[in-house]
Amino acid sequence: MRIEITSKQMPITDTMREKVEERFEKLQKLQVSLIKPHFIITKEPKGAKIEATIGVPNGKVFASAEHDDLYVAITQLFQKIERQLNKHIHKDEANRAKNNGKELCRNGEISGEPMKEPEVEIESDAEIKMNKEFIA
């Protein structure tokens, strides 16, 4: 796959390219089709900043990281992307996607009628007498 790396205000070295490609290979193991990955590396006054935009089915993944050391920023960036891809992969399995009230109602497991609470009966008058004594 072709990885597009753009750099602003600094040259792209072979070690930078290798680091990005090495980390990107780990992302491809997640079994998600990654479409047109683009990385932008910029030199900031406080260090380096790297941004990534990767297309995935039904959306895009964007992340950025900033650090004094460029290679630490690359590692942080790929950790963020990996978390987002894991969310994207397991979205169908999430509890918020299933077990919601609408789906249960459609299946007929619950109805829209309010529940009736059982009536409580008092078995003896002793309880009532005790309560009257304490009040008086």
Identify the residue whose tokens are 């109602």.
105
Which structure tokens are listed for 110? 């619950």
Of 17, 18, 7, 29, the C-alpha closest to 82 is 29
Angstrom distance (rounded) from CA 73 to CA 67: 5
> What interhelical angle do 14-28 and 70-89 show, nearest 10?
20
Domains and their CATH numbers in the chain: 4-89 (3.30.160.100)
Which three-class secondary structure state does DSSP give residue 86? helix
pLDDT in tens, the chain (136 residues): 788 889 888 898 899 889 988 888 888 887 788 888 999 999 988 889 999 998 888 888 899 999 999 999 999 999 999 998 888 887 776 666 555 666 666 666 666 666 677 777 766 655 555 555 555 5
Listing DSSP states for 31-97 in one string gives: ----EEEEEEEEEETTEEEEEEEEEETTEEEEEEEEESSHHHHHHHHHHHHHHHHHHHHTTTTSTTT
